[in-house]
Amino acid sequence: MRAEAGGLRGVLRLTAGHRGPITMTVALTLVAAALGLALPLVARDVIEAAGAGRTAWRGVGMLVALFAAQALAQALVRYQLARTGEGIVLGVRLSLIDHLLRLRMPAHDRHRVGDLISRTDADTFALRQVVAGGFTDAVTGTVGLAATVALMAWLDPVLLACVAAVVLAAGAVLGIALRGMRAASLRGRRAAGEMAADLERALSAIRTVKAGRAEARESERIGGRAGAAYTANVRMAGFDALVAPATELAVTGSFLLVLLIGGARVAGGTASVADLVAFLLYMLYLTGPLGALFESLSVVQQGTGAVHRIEEALALPREDDEAPATAPPPRADSPVLEFRDVWFGYRAARPVLRGATFTVPRHGHVALIGRSGAGKSTIFALAERFYDPDRGEILFGGVPVTASSRSRHRAGIGLVEQDCPILDGTLRDNLLYAAPDAPDGEIHRVLAMTDLTALVARLPHGLDTRVGEHGRELSGGERQRMAIARALITRPDLLLLDEPTAHLDLESELALHRTLAEITGHCALLVIAHRFSTVRAAAHVIVLDEGRIAASGTHEELMDTSPYYRTLAEGRSLGPVKQ
């Protein structure tokens, strides 16, 4: 029974914060069960009175009152159980949502977006089935069973022993079914997660799918995942089918056994008809909780895959965001960013940065160049503290970055990524994303800086125009400038730009270079440069080669001193650099 215990333990862990509502539900269940159990006792008195030729009106009245009270208590239990179940699912969803948004970057690298979404959505839905169906039945079943068994033991221990033997035999069949269900459940939930991840992959790149005429292939591939989920679920249904005969064996088998033995004892004169009737009534009461308990074990096992995947997601490592108590203030005379002998690799023993050392002066304009894969974006990721260096130190404003919380550190940096992600919503939502309380004046300032004022004036709803998912209602250049405006609105000390002119025409590019020159009056710029015009706009150039700083200086100095830079500048061997 270890497998079942594992599933139950998972459910208990996830429901740990809901002790209050669960206790209340159990208390209500006890009341309902006690009322139900009192009925046969009163019924026995009424029958015994009838046997003696009397009509026990008080007993009949009590029967009616007990019946009404039990019906009311059962309705309350049902409502309270459902409410508790919903509360548990909400609690798990809130924890998952918050946890997934705060995962460490390597955890995001290892898990697919669709799969993580499916854990929050489909798996918590499956957990609701466990809680609403399995958990609730388990509570009512266990309480009802315990009380009925206690009364049966008091009434007739021998008959109870016969019932227990039959139930144990049925439990063995149930055990086989539960073990099979547990494995099939995890396989089914995993396949459903993969299906969601594959579907998310295809739908988020639907233009590539269509352009590659890959609809049929994607459909087949994603359909394959759906098929794997189907196979696992059908297998689970096969094991679930065993639960019905096991329950039948336990319930009907013990009922028949009691009838046979009890009937024989009444015929032999060793027991009264009233005792047998009461015992059979308890048997009727036993069948409900017993069936519910067997069913609940089955439902819990069917949900173990979901519970396992939810717990797995909740165990993924989170970003720490604690600031040491005594963080020294940034020093105004220090470089805004400094890398000191920084080593870093995404995987052990495969360093991407190999002792990178450089500084970005306050209000400096620095270009970072190097071949594709040299580690330029990795430097940005470390500057933002998405990852921590394996060795070496990163300083922001002359203070080690670890002296501040990640959140406070990131507040001083604006990041414009290569693919400029734009969020679904209006232009205003996007611009205010990092500074929700910025006044309209700030919005107009950054729009002017990024040459977007005319675009906003042209749009039907101005700043309140929706941009579509991933900003698909904007052109590539507009998306890029919108992303720059969004980063500038927080007035960062350092702006990280990944080739900001990649999607601009010549006129916009010149305008942007003027903007960038103006920005250096407010903050420092570290720009990954693929275009030579971007390199020339910078005051200082850092050349990265296989994770090492190969050279650094002004364009003129590097042209004189660095053959590698000359090669890059002449565009002979550097793919991304365009003159």
Residues that bind ligand ATP (CB under 6 A): 109, 346, 352, 370, 372-378, 576
- β-pairing, 540-545 vs 548-553, is antiparallel
- Supply the minimum distance, in Å, between the C-beta of residue 531 and ligand ATP: 12
- Supply the minimum distance, in Å, between the C-beta of residue 495 and ligand ATP: 17
- Supply the minimum distance, in Å, between the C-beta of residue 547 and ligand ATP: 8
Beta bridge partner(s), residue 369: 543
Asked if residue 337 lies in contact with residue 395, where contact means CB atoms within 8 angstroms, the answer is yes
Q: Measured at the alpha carbon of residue 142, what is the angle toward residues 30 and 124, in degrees to the nearest 5?
A: 100
Closer by beta carbon to ligand ATP, 130 or else 416: 416
- Supply the minimum distance, in Å, between the C-beta of residue 346 and ligand ATP: 3
The residue among 206, 192, 315, 296 whose CA lies nearest residue 247 is 296
- Supply the minimum distance, in Å, between the C-beta of residue 337 and ligand ATP: 16
Closer by beta carbon to ligand ATP, 258 or else 352: 352
- Supply the minimum distance, in Å, between the C-beta of residue 528 and ligand ATP: 7
Closer by beta carbon to ligand ATP, 377 or else 426: 377
- Supply the minimum distance, in Å, between the C-beta of residue 348 and ligand ATP: 12
Residue with tokens 């336990």: 250
Asked if residue 338 lies in contact with residue 359, where contact means CB atoms within 8 angstroms, the answer is yes
Closer by beta carbon to ligand ATP, 107 or else 374: 374
The runs of H, that is alpha helices, within 354-495 are 376-383, 406-411, 427-431, 440-449, 453-458, 476-488
Strand order in the sheet with 391-396: 353-360, 337-344, 391-396, 399-400
Q: Measured at the alpha carbon of residue 380, what is the angle toward residues 423 and 322, in degrees to the nearest 5?
A: 85
Closer by beta carbon to ligand ATP, 109 or else 215: 109
Closer by beta carbon to ligand ATP, 91 or else 576: 576
- β-pairing, 337-344 vs 548-553, is unpaired
CA dist 500 → 469, 480, 512 (Å): 21, 7, 8
Closer by beta carbon to ligand ATP, 419 or else 505: 419
- Supply the minimum distance, in Å, between the C-beta of residue 117 and ligand ATP: 20
Quote the DSSP letter at residue 316: S
* Cα–Cα distance for residue pair 22/82, rounded to 1 Å: 11
Closer by beta carbon to ligand ATP, 171 or else 370: 370
Task: Indicate if the alpha-carbon torsion angle 326, 327, 333, 334 is positive or negative.
Answer: positive
The enclosing H or E element of 75 equals helix 57-101
Closer by beta carbon to ligand ATP, 354 or else 408: 354
Asked if residue 118 lies in contact with residue 44, where contact means CB atoms within 8 angstroms, the answer is no
- Supply the minimum distance, in Å, between the C-beta of residue 533 and ligand ATP: 17
Task: Indicate if the alpha-carbon torsion angle 345, 348, 350, 354 is positive or negative.
Answer: positive
Q: Locate 98 and state its tokens.
A: 């918050």
